[in-house]
Amino acid sequence: MKKLLLASVSVMAFASAAANANAQPEKINLQSLINTAMTSVKMADVLPENDAHIVVKKQSKAILAEEIQVQLHKNLLAMTKSEERLIATEATEAE
């Protein structure tokens, strides 16, 4: 009996959903919906309690800055060695 009742309720729900699917959806004012959501939801309530995203951003910036310094140092050393070779070449050509 319960299975029959459950089956009939399921058929009615399916028929109701099918009938509603054919109905034209009413237009929704998205901007109004967005404004309502923005005013009713505080970002502090939505963001997680931990600040992992801030920590990751700081670590990424620190690693990037360190890598930039390493590359600048390597480029500076390469320029210095190149200038030393040029000076040595000029000195040997002058002799």
Show me where the domains of the chain are located.
48-95
Confidence at residue 65, expressed as pLDDT on a 0 to 100 scale: 92
Residues 27-86: tens digit of each pLDDT? 777 788 778 777 777 666 666 667 777 888 899 999 999 999 988 888 888 888 888 887
Confidence at residue 52, expressed as pLDDT on a 0 to 100 scale: 77
Confidence at residue 40, expressed as pLDDT on a 0 to 100 scale: 72
* Strands annotated E in the chain: none
Residues 7-31: tens digit of each pLDDT? 666 666 666 666 665 555 567 777 8
Confidence at residue 82, expressed as pLDDT on a 0 to 100 scale: 81
Radius of gyration of the chain (CA): 35
Phi, psi dihedrals of residue 32, rounded to the nearest 5°: -65, -40
